[in-house]
Structure 1
Amino acid sequence: MMNTTTIVNTNRNKIHPYKFTLWAAIASMLMMFAGLTSAFIVKSNLSGWRTIVIPNIFWVSTVLIILSSFIIHLAQKTFKERNFAKYRLLLITTLVLGIAFVICQILGFQELWNVQNIKFKGSSGAGQFFYAIVG
């Protein structure tokens, strides 16, 4: 008589709860952004809409945050390689880029607030939508 053992893999189609939560959060953020964008498009076609000129400093801050993301990725790889001197340098660089990003954001929103007089209130709604979508 021959004994046969069968191994059943019960975890084959299960997704980890953290991964599911991450995807649910991404989906809800995507839906919120789509809703805000849709409302922005509809509202911008109404009379009395005020056009906002995006300050150039926001483009600088976009480059800074993308560069910071790339450098933190390099820092993670360097940490796994156990090159701690380079790791510290990359972390400090990421910190400096992050601080520069925050400063650029503050300067950009100050320009909107003080120079272009874009506030949270007003009949056109342009300021509210802009702050909600990018802020």
Structure 2
Amino acid sequence: MTAIVLFMAGLAAIAGWWLSQQRLAAKPWLEEGSLGDFPGGGASLLPPAKIGLGVFLAVVGSLFALFISAYSMRMELIDWRSLPVPKLLWFNTVVLILSSAALQWAQRAARRDDSDNMLIGLLAGGISAVVFVIGQLLAWQQLNAAGYLPAANPANAFFYLITAVHGLHVLGGLAVLSRATIKTWRGVEVSRLRLSVELCAMYWHFLLLVWLILLALLTGWADDFAAICRQLLT
């Protein structure tokens, strides 16, 4: 429940900031000059695609917040037996960090109209993401071989569910990233691909943040951090 409250509070803060930029308290009938002459009077500076992605990420974030809350409440019951986290997850985390960094590189190259480095960043980001997905499947295989099946314990089921949902979002991002990479390979002008690359980078940074939170939850770091915070507040 705490995770949901904190996430919703963050969304409310972002929404409040955005609404404050729309000059809701302004009196346009008292303004002089054209609509675009005063702050906030013109159209939104954000492209519709970025706004749409932001809404989508808010929905996805809410979904993972529900998973985290359910995980935290379910682990308090007596039949919960935590499973050992495969060491391969640490390698997968590094790979996902590299993927996010590669897309940030591609985004900066796109802003400089550098198609060569943009292509390198897109390829590196895509390949790293594929390695991440393969690594997650190998981690599943290791757990299955050790007898940690999804139906054996609620902790096992949550692990497979959470990592599977995150992996599906990575695969969805790969589909979009592949289109941008193919267009860049074919020599499409950077100006026409700049927004797509920025959206991919934004989406990848979000997936990395979500994965780091999930990893902290699965490894127990989140519980240790919460315990420290409670001690500091008492």
Match of 2:100 in 1: 69
Conserved 8 A contact 2:148-2:156: no
Q: 1:83 to 1:32 in 2, by over 3 A?
A: closer
Change beyond 3 A, Cα 1:13–1:118 = same
Change (3 A) 1:12 1:77: closer
Which one of the candidate residues 72, 80, 88 is aligned to 1:49?
80
Choose the corresponding residue for 2:136, options 73, 84, 105: 105
Aligned counterpart in structure 2 of residue 40 of structure 1, from 61, 71, 87: 71
| CA radius of gyration, larger in | 1
1:1-135 alignment, distance < 5 Å: 6-9=33-36, 10-11=41-42, 17-119=48-150, 121-122=151-152, 124-135=153-164
Which letter maps to 1:35? L
Aligned partners of 1:82 and 1:39: how far apart in 2?
Answer: 45
Query: 1:59 Cα shift?
Result: 1.1
Alpha-carbon separation, structure 2, partners of 1:18 and 1:87: 20
State how far apart, in whole Å, the 1-side matches of 2:52 and 2:119 are: 32
CA distance in 2, matches of 1:12, 1:84: 30
**Offset from partner CA, 1:43-69 (integer Å, 9 cap, x none):** 111111121111011111111011111
**Cα shift at 1:86:** 3.9
Q: Aligned letter for 2:158?
A: F
Q: Relative to structure 1, is the Cα distance of residues 97 and 16 closer, same or farther in structure 2, using a 3 angstrom cutoff?
A: closer
Could you say which structure has the higher helix fraction? 2
Equivalent residue letter for 1:125? P
Moved over 6 A (4+): none
User: Structure 1: which 5+ residue stretches go unaligned?
Assistant: none
Structure 2: distance between partners of 1:69 and 1:14: 25
Q: 1:82 to 1:30 in 2, by over 3 A?
A: closer
Deviation at 1:28, TM superposition (A): 2.1
- 1:6 aligned partner, one-letter code: G
**RMSD of aligned Cα (Å):** 2.8
